[in-house]
Amino acid sequence: MTGNDHDPDYTRIVADADVLAADLLVGGSSRATLDVLRAHSWLALVATDRLLDDAEAVVAELADESLAADWREHLEEWAVVVEQPEGDHPALAAAYRGNATQVVSLDERLLGAKAAAALGGRIDVSVRPPDAFERLFDPKSIYELAFEEQYPGPDSDPRR
In a domain, 155, yes or no: no
In a domain, 3, yes or no: no
Amino acid letter at 42? W
Task: Dump pLDDT digits (tens) for 24-48.
Answer: 999 999 999 999 999 999 999 999 9
Is the pLDDT score of 10 beyond 50? yes
Mean of the pLDDT values across residues 55-70? 96
Domain that holds residue 17: 9-147
Instruction: Give the separation between CA 84 and CA 49, rounded to whole angstroms.
Output: 8
* CATH number, position 108: 3.40.50.1010
In a domain, 23, yes or no: yes
Contacts of 87 (CB under 8 A, 6+ apart): none
- pLDDT class for 126, splitting at 50, 70, 90? confident
Question: What pTM did the predictor assign?
Answer: 0.89
Number of domains in the chain: 1
Instruction: Give the separation between CA 14 and CA 105, rounded to whole angstroms.
Output: 8
Residue 144: predicted pLDDT: 96
In a domain, 4, yes or no: no
- pLDDT class for 116, splitting at 50, 70, 90? low
In a domain, 91, yes or no: yes
| Cβ(103)–Cβ(127) below 8 Å | yes
Distances (CA, A) of 117 to 8, 113, 114, 126: 18, 6, 5, 11
Residue 99 vs residue 117, higher pLDDT: 99
Residue 1: predicted pLDDT: 43
Q: Name the burial class of residue 9, with classes exposed (0-12), middle (13-18) and buried (19+) by CB atoms within 10 angstroms of its CB.
A: middle
In a domain, 156, yes or no: no
In a domain, 34, yes or no: yes
In a domain, 112, yes or no: yes
Residue 129: predicted pLDDT: 96
Task: Dump pLDDT digits (tens) for 128-153.
Answer: 999 999 999 999 999 999 999 999 99
